[in-house]
Amino acid sequence: MKIEKLSIIIPAYNEGSTIHLILNKIKAVNLIENIQKEIIIIDDCSTDHTEQSVAGYRLDHPELAINYFKHEINKGKGAALHTGISKATGEYLIIQDADLEYDPEEYNDLLKPVCNGFADVVYGSRFMGSNPHRILFFWHTIGNRWLTFASNMFSNLNLTDMETCYKLFDTKLIQSIQLSEPRFGFEPEVTQKIARVPKIRIYEVGISYYGRTYDDGKKIGWKDGVRAIYCILKYGLFRVD
């Protein structure tokens, strides 16, 4: 499949101090096969200077296609992704956090299985390959691996990292799926629902991970882990649409 444009979906909440840095990284990436970039930022009612940072960046870099949308009330990361997905016009889209945990230089690694005609969906795994990974929390790693294992039981996939940020989707395909989870339940919900698509071709590639601590601004907590278990059962075991 020839891809003309990649939509990059960036949910942002109080990322005013780092969002220009991730935009610099995205700007510097030259995508394979001359694929163009469409950046879609969804500000989930930030209370810091995220909006001003994005506005200033757009003025300084008019050559970069940046579309900005703002939620007037805070709805959650999943809700921001729903908005971004609905606005995407590229043949494929990828999810990018507004912090610096994931490296846009690796977009091409995720695009290759699609451009070579093998994949419809590509997940970037923090737990495979030889890319650099920051050493952080033992129990977070165990939790991520357990949630992936539980998700695989009901999706019948063999993913190594269901909770990864980097997910590359066929845009029309993901836009056709009804998504409901407003917070971090997005990951298990979309994984369970995408696995149901007949003859879906899902690939996984190893990626780097430059993880943040809570002092750095990391937002996910144990309550989100509990919600992820609920979502795996809801959309996997009971197959709720």
Give 61-116 pLDDT, tens digit per residue: 999 999 999 999 999 999 999 999 999 999 999 999 998 999 999 999 999 999 99
Each residue of 130-159: pLDDT tens digit? Answer: 788 887 778 888 999 999 999 999 999 999
pLDDT of residue 123: 98
Provide φ and ψ at 134, rounded to 5°. Answer: -70, 135
Hey, what are 198's tokens? 């007949």
pLDDT category of residue 233 using cuts at 50, 70 and 90: very high
Point out which residues pair with 167 in neighbouring strands: 123
What whole-number distance in Å separates Cα of residue 226 and Cα of residue 221?
9
65 φ/ψ angles, rounded to the nearest 5 degrees? -80, 95
Distance CA 84, CA 78 (A): 10
Q: How confident is the model at residue 180 (pLDDT cuts 50, 70, 90)?
A: very high
Separation in Å, CA 15 to CA 18, 74, 118: 6, 14, 35
